[in-house]
Structure 1
Amino acid sequence: MGPVPDLDDAATACAQRLCRADRVLLASHIDADGLTSAAVASLALERAGIPFEVVFKKQLDETEIASIAAREYDTVLFTDFGSGQLDVISEHERAGDFEPVIADHHQPAVDGQSPSASGTESRAAETEFHLNPLLVGLDGASELSGAGASYVLARALAEVGETAPPDGNRDLAGLAVVGAVGDMQAVDGELVGANTGIVEEGVAAGVLEEGTDLTLYGKQTRPLPKLLEYATEVPIPGISNDEAGAIRFLESLGLDLKRSGEWRTWADLTDDERQTVASALVQRAVERGVPADDIQTLIGTTYTLTEEPTGTELRDASEFSTLLNATARYERADVGLAVCRGDREAALDRAQTLLSNHRRNLSEGLTLIQERGVTHEDNVQWFDAGSAIRETIVGIVAGMALGTAGVDADKPILAFASKDDDETKVSSRGTGPLVGRGLDLSAVMREAARSVGGDGGGHDIAAGATVPAGKEQAFVDAADEIVADQLGNKS
């Protein structure tokens, strides 16, 4: 039995099909979840003795699927996408171009228009080898990521393949957790649902540690003052966005927080020192009137990759996922894949350089939004970055902006960025409470985009689309109406 029993049958069928292939073209998405999906799947194929080639795509549309078909592979494994494009993929399958195997967690496509768009019945497009949590009633947005689906497939490959990899590929669980964390699947800071089975296998395999710790980003690599200064998830007056204030706070604790004149990182501290800093940080938040619910999120569940060196981005699942985002989103998916597959020399050095550039671009993008502001409709808010923010990171910037000054956390945000002269990329981000009220950005992106001649999809809390240039306002109008309907805001 695999880590997600409900998916055992689908995983076994997919694994058996892959084992019958002479060679496999592995196609995957370019975000952290897509990279870890490709890494898990490629390592599993390699261990099973199945020849393969990896290609990455920013998006999977008709043109890209046609380019995959032109590669003349009889078997194509899609990871972290494919379900949402199954209608198009199925056409190629029926034409005999290739046989697809899909390990994904996105909403499956339907034949024809969606019910909410046309008011007519639709049926899900079908293929024989399709591994997706949504098909067995599991939430693909919070319970299993693309990397998780690839891990379930990898575990099945270990069972049906000609070779038996050590520990049944359980050592790949750490990468699957990085993918889930990078795909924002942590609910209140903790992985839930089917993801917990993967965490348990990773812990048992000795590659993962689940613990309780400070939840601030950068515990492995940031000097302590920067860790607190940049901790804007829970703004603490006098510390967050205040370098001098963060230093004064740390110096007031009477601890040895420097080594050879340099600030230590959180990872350098002893357990007692961490307890002292964390307790003082919570006390300061209470004194400065930070809401109790926000204070509670300062401490939460953390996921550590135990075989990676302390003090590196690779040891913390959140930092690892950010490192990966900094590779493929800048056209270097090969670098991220190499890091995931174990390259700790040239690829890691290159990834760290890309990460520095990525952080600078995110900071500049957030500053741009704060300077320009966003446009508020009745039910959504949006901004058009044009070519000022890369279309591969505009969604990340939008998510960072939610809840900042002038950006309403009670409305989903839409972010436009120029893709080329003919097309515009749209990214959307919501919040857990909005999803709880009925928001489904996957449907919003798909239906609004199709209404203007584009297409889209994704998850309920985060989704994307591509629309013709010049149709941005029409897209906003359509999205605003769909969100109003979902949230019951229609007058």
Structure 2
Amino acid sequence: MAGPIPELEERATRCARRLCEADRVLLASHIDADGLTSAAIAAQALERAAISFETVFEKQLDEDAIADIAATDYDTVLFTDFGSGQLDIIGDREDAGDFTPVIADHHQPADRETEYHLNPLLFGIDGASELSGAGASYVLARALAEESDQSVAADGGAVTVDSGTPARADNRDLAALAVVGAVGDMQASGGELRGANEQIVAEGVEAGVIETGKDLALYGKQTRPLPKLLEYATDVRIPGISNDEAGALQFLEELDLELQREEDGEWRRWADLSNEEKRTVASALVKRAVSRGVPAKKIESLVGTAYVLCEEPVGTELRDASEFSTLLNATARYERADVGLGVCLGDREGALEQARTLLRNHRRNLSEGIDLVTREGVTHEDNVQWFHAGDRIRETIVGIVAGMAMGNEGISRSKPIVAFAQKNDEAVKVSARGTHSLVRKGLDLSVVMGEASRAVDGDGGGHDVAAGATVPIGREEEFVEMADEIVGEQLS
């Protein structure tokens, strides 16, 4: 196998061979953008390998969810974008003969071993910044293409699967979804994907499904009208433009460009501009930032690497990896993982329209959540800050809200933020978000969430920059006290 990540090649091959031996497979995956793309990559790879499978999604892979999986009559279960952190529970089920697990994940593994476990952390690759769950699934898909007996031309030509989409003999076309998953998992720190992710990007470019290049690092370049693109671009706050509708309009009107469509007078989008027009806008934006005293380091971050899915139509959410991932986040977090999976698998009619409706609802909920947190404020401890949303913010999006609220008035970016939301009558969902700057100083929220939750009879884990947990109702303040102490130790 000439796989994209040499360090994972042997393990990926072993996992692929086990899947090829199965009569059928239960594919279980997480519900965020990384989980949905992981499932879509695995689903297409299994289908192309003529392996029968069924797909299920879980918000959280806890003991009850694993028990439900064990109760099915599947002898082989493929876990994507989760499973490593729950390996102790999964291992007990494996020992009992309930099923054989195959795991393609990137989260911190539990202290347990299993034979078919594909995780970059086991091979010295950072799962928080260098390879996502979708990336692990892609590595497995590439190995599965090698190991399976596919009906392809001897010269490696394309065949067609039931969905009607072209299938490549080596599954390299699935790199596009792997990039969407990595971007959705916040791995494009510093404006670009790094490490093992870069090797997947290179394969996508070679396969003709990804284009890369330097561009403005603003969300919405494909779909937002230019004034809204600039008004809502708040990662780098430019006085007189960011969060200023009139200011953004005035800024654009002062440029000597045709920025509105002749046929209907509507504003053009960034994707509609020529390269020369883009340079004009970008140059004026930088000059404005300099004149308003924006720090040089912030100005530099206005430009990053764009990841374009070149087989998707210009001007749609699917063309840009960041917008695609946001669209996916708006599906399964509202109990419609089937819609997100359908979009990933190529449904450009019913599923895409449903996803767009869910996205509009998602944006409204995020905006209301951010307003709530900013208005009511957070409680500051020595080393963390926190808020409790109760049932006013959905537990599936409270972590996104927390991360987006950082930097707003009264909400610091120099401390990790911990957010609580009601999960059910007995438990509370906890989400924690940090910054890559804090991680470089020693922050590891995976450890914080894991240790603090278990100290109050809960459980948790995740990544260094973003993690989550579930704790019993009434134990939140104990949890915060423990989390504050651990973060203090990490950053001392």
Offset of 1:187 from its aligned partner? 2.1
Q: Distance in 2 between matches of 1:412 and 1:298?
A: 24
Is the contact between residue 422 and residue 469 of structure 1 (CA under 8 Å) also seen in structure 2? yes
Structure 1 position 233, deviation (Å):
0.5
Which of 228, 231, 241 lines up with 1:239 in the alignment?
A: 241
TM-fit CA distance, 1:383: 0.3
**2:182 corresponds to which residue?**
180
Q: Which amino acid aligns with 1:59?
A: Q
- List gaps (5 residues or longer) in structure 1: 111-124
TM-score in terms of structure 1 length: 0.96
SS in 2 for 1:466: strand
Structure 1 counterpart of 2:441, from 419, 434, 437: 437
Matches within 5 A, 1:405-424: 405-424=409-428
2:136 aligned with 1:149: yes
Cα separation, 2, equivalents of 1:90 and 1:109: 10
**Cα deviation per residue 1:445-480 (whole Å; 9 max; x = unaligned)?**
011000001000000000000000111101000101
Cross-structure match for 1:454: 458
- TM alignment of 1:156-167, pairs within 5 A: 156-163=143-150, 164=152, 166-167=168-169
Q: Which residue of 1 aligns with 2:86?
A: 85
Question: How big is each residue's C-alpha offset from its partner over 1:289-336, in whole Å with a ceiling of 9 and x where there is no partner?
Answer: 000000001111110000000000000000000000000000000000
Cα offsets for 1:139-188 (capped at 9, x unmatched): 00000000000000000000000105524000000000000000000120
> Per-residue CA shift, 1:411-465, capped at 9, x if unaligned?
1000000001100000000011111111110010011000001000000000000
Deviation digits for residues 364-398 of structure 1 (CA, Å, limit 9, x no counterpart): 00000111000000010000000110000000001
Q: What secondary structure, in the 3-state scheme, does the structure 2 residue paired with 1:405 have?
A: coil
SS of aligned partner of 1:368:
helix
1:24 and 1:103 mapped to 2: Cα distance?
14
C-alpha change, 1:232 and 1:24, in structure 2 (3 Å) is same
CA distances 1:330-352 after superposition (whole Å, capped 9, x unpaired): 00000000000000000000000
The answer on whether the counterparts of 1:167 and 1:205 sit within 8 Å (CA) in structure 2 is no
Which residue does 1:45 correspond to in 2? 46
Structure 2 Cα separation of the partners of residues 431 and 450 of structure 1: 24
Residue 72 of structure 1 deviates from its aligned partner by: 1.7
Distance in 2 between the 1:139 and 1:16 partners?
A: 25
Identify the residue that residue 117 of structure 2 maps to in structure 1: 130
Q: 2-side partners of 1:167 and 1:145: how far apart? A: 23
Following superposition, the deviation at residue 401 of structure 1 comes to: 1.1
- Structure-2-length-normalised TM-score: 0.96
Indicate the SS of the match to 2:190: coil
Counterpart in the other structure of 1:113: none
Contact persistence 1:448–1:478 (CA under 8 A): yes
> Partners of 1:269 and 1:361 in 2: how far apart?
31
Contact 1:148-1:179 within 8 A present in 2 as well: yes
Corresponding letter in the other structure for 2:473: A
How far residue 408 of structure 1 moved from its aligned partner, in angstroms, is 1.0
Match of 2:221 in 1: 219
Q: Does 1:292 align with 2:290?
A: no
Question: Aligned pair 1:279/2:283, yes or no?
Answer: yes
Shift of 1:402: 1.3
Task: Tell me the distance in 2 between the aligned counterparts of 1:435 and 1:314.
Answer: 31
Distance 2:23 2:144 in 1: 15
Distance 1:35 1:290 in 2: 37
Distance of 1:69 and 1:218 partners within structure 2: 42
| Cα distance between partner residues in 2 of 1:348 and 1:473 | 42
Deviations 1:28-60 (A, max 9, x none): 000000000000000000000000000000001
AA aligned to 1:378 is D
Aligned length: 474
TM-align CA RMSD = 0.6
What is the aligned-residue identity percentage? Answer: 73
Of 317, 324, 330, which aligns to 1:320?
324
Gaps spanning 5+ residues in structure 2: where?
153-166
